[in-house]
Structures are given as C-alpha cells and as structure tokens.
C-alpha cells in the first residue's frame, strides 16, 4: 500500500512505450489512469474538462510545448509535474517553480513526485504571452 490508492492520474505523453511504462507504474502504486493524451489539443481538452487528481506532463508533445496545458491545470488547481529529457532548463518563465522529473525515471521517483506535488499548494500560473 502506498497511500495513493484510488488517485486519478492524467498521463500526457506522446511516446507510446513511455506512456505504457508510466501506466504500469501508476497502477502499481494503486492509482488509476484517468486519461491519456498524446497531443497538445487532446491534453488541453482533458486539462480543462477532465476528472483527475494529478497530471504528469511530458514537456514536449510532437514538437509542441505543453505550457497551455499546464496553465489550464493550474487555473483549476490540479497538481501536476513535468517529466522531461530536458530537465528544468526546458521550463518557461512562469512554470520554473513547478516540479520536474528527469527522464528516464523509476517508479519510486514518480511516487515521490506525486506526493510532493499533492502536498504543495501552488498559485495559478499566469498565462504566457503570445
């Protein structure tokens, strides 16, 4: 038991093998994958209207940044974290303080990130210019 049983997680990842690995990790923690998105439009729709408790966002989906998705999640008060091969350097200004997990990562890293994100009260992100 991880204490995260039943937590609903949105997975935003454009590489199917990585998405499946994350799904396995999430389920092993007792969480439920509440949705998947592989493109920014899909992710944005879920971020604005989906029902979940936490989101894990790949920073870049097919060459498109997920900043707008992160802003929508922040506006709804939904905790989220980034998973990226770029590390913290890939974050834009208003997202600099958000949690980032370097790819590749282990299940224990994901669990720690979820716990930290759920425990951190964050202010909404200001919309990006342009």
Q: Where are the domains of the chain?
A: 8-119
**How much is the pLDDT for 1?**
56
Sequential pLDDT tens for the chain (130 residues):
568 999 999 999 999 999 999 999 999 999 999 999 999 999 999 999 999 999 999 999 999 999 999 999 999 999 999 998 877 766 777 787 888 898 899 999 999 999 998 886 443 444 444 4
Contact 79, 120 (CB under 8 A): yes
| Pick among 3.40.50.300, 2.60.40.1940, 3.40.50.2300, 3.40.50.12160: CATH of 8-119 | 3.40.50.2300
Tally: H helices and E strands in the chain: 4, 7
**How much is the pLDDT for 124?**
43
């Amino acid at each position: 038991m991880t204490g995260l049983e039943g937590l609903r997680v949105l997975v935003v990842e454009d590489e199917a093998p990585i998405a499946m690995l994350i799904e396995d990790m999430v389920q092993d923690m007792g969480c439920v994958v509440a949705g998947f998105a592989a493109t920014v439009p899909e992710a944005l729709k879920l971020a604005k209207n989906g029902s979940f408790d936490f989101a894990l966002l790949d920073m870049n989906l097919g060459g498109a940044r997920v900043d707008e998705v992160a802003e929508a999640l922040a506006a709804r008060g939904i905790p989220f974290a980034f998973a990226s091969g770029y590390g913290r350097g890939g974050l834009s200004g208003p997202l600099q303080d958000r949690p980032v997990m370097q790819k590749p990562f282990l299940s224990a890293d994901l669990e720690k990130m979820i716990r930290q994100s759920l425990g951190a009260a964050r202010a909404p992100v200001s919309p990006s210019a342009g």
